Amino acid sequence: MKIAKVTVWPVTMALREPYTIAYEHVENAVNIFLRLETDGGLLGFGCAAPDLMICGETGEGALAALAGPVTEQLTGQDPLRREKLLERLMPAFEAQPSVMAAVDMALHDLLGKVAGLPLYILLGAFRSRMLTAVTIGILPEDETVAHARDYIAQGFRAIKIKGGKNLEDDIARVLKVREVVGPRIELRFDANQGYTVEGSLRFIEATRSAKLELLEQPTHRRQPDLLGEVARKVGLPVMADESIVSLRDAFRVARRDLADMVNVKLMKVGGISAARRVNSVARAARLETMVGCMDESALAIAAGLAFALGHPNVAYADLDGHLDLVGDPAANAVVLKDGYLYPSPAPGLGVVI
């Protein structure tokens, strides 16, 4: 079997509702789609969701890489030799993890189609569905509460609130949301690197009654010792997100005991194969893993979900990056019901674009 044709195209998708986090305001998302066609007519799909702030990638750069040297290196190759192909690409594209993720995704998709099995089964099928959180960006308190009410009405059971710009406002919003949604809804908070150690401690103490499930990346990623200091001083699980961009990052966090949990995003680490390696480090260190996402097509969400379903210590999911995208070519790649994501029963990622 050989890869006979590689097709690459960009899609810019507006967000139904733009959002703000600690370091940026987002109104649209650019995803670069990849289609691998074999000489036997099988199709494998992947996509890149480059992120400038986290990984230094742009849509233009990802498109140029995939349409140029990546296409050249993949054409004529055996897609089932996935690790060999990825290792060949890694030296040139290690600094473009979403490019690697797109290739990795498409190769995994083809593997599932060759085997005639959904990808989540090939990856272990530890579970068959995953509860996902839905995210509320930085908004005034009344709008935050309105969004929380709406999401609960839609069936979501876990909410992540973004903050990191104004500590006292963050405290007020968290306390009010807990008051409104009641005790059974899981609440998570993501400061997106916006706090100092002192601010983190103040936030934890002031929101103790809200019984948050976790605090995500409170301090700046370039100051890992501060993250570790917060983790050691609070009784709430602290998650590393922006601090984990590579396998080496995961090893450093685990070895130095800098966090209680890690957020693994396919676009950030370079795909499913890389995510499995990062997760192995986390599991060896007895750290729980959450699978997260960027603003990415449901195609990429399906890949993240397959990874999550296959691994026992992936205890949390934040796979809502596709929900607000307008014009997603793979909008039906996953099924959302009562706050749970279900994979497609079709082979591979179950998508034909």
Which uninterrupted H or E stretch holds 20? Answer: strand 3-21
The per-residue pLDDT for range 46-66, each reduced to its tens digit, is 999 999 988 899 999 999 999
The per-residue pLDDT for range 13-29, each reduced to its tens digit, is 999 999 999 888 899 99
> Using CA atoms, how far apart are residues 264 and 290, in angstroms rounded to an integer?
6
Q: Which amino acid is present at 336?
A: L
Phi, psi of 291 (to 5 degrees): -95, 125
The yes-or-no verdict on residue 41 having pLDDT over 90 is yes
**21, 60, 352 from 100: Cα distances, Å:** 26, 15, 20
**Full-model pTM:** 0.96
> Using CA atoms, how far apart are residues 344 and 332, in angstroms rounded to an integer?
9
DSSP 8-state code for residue 325 = B
The per-residue pLDDT for range 139-178, each reduced to its tens digit, is 999 999 999 999 999 999 999 999 999 999 999 999 999 9
Supply 330's token pair: 């793979």
Domains of the chain and any CATH numbers: 3-116 (3.30.390.10), 120-343 (3.20.20.120)
The yes-or-no verdict on residue 252 having pLDDT over 90 is yes
The per-residue pLDDT for range 108-131, each reduced to its tens digit, is 999 999 999 999 999 999 999 999
The per-residue pLDDT for range 294-328, each reduced to its tens digit, is 999 999 999 999 999 999 999 999 999 999 999 99
**31, 65, 253, 271 from 60: Cα distances, Å:** 10, 9, 32, 20
Supply 164's token pair: 């990191």
- Return the pLDDT at 62: 98
Supply 229's token pair: 């200091």
Supply 54's token pair: 């986290």
Adjacency order of strands within the sheet including 334-337: 130-131, 340-343, 334-337
> Using CA atoms, how far apart are residues 138 and 25, in angstroms rounded to an integer?
10
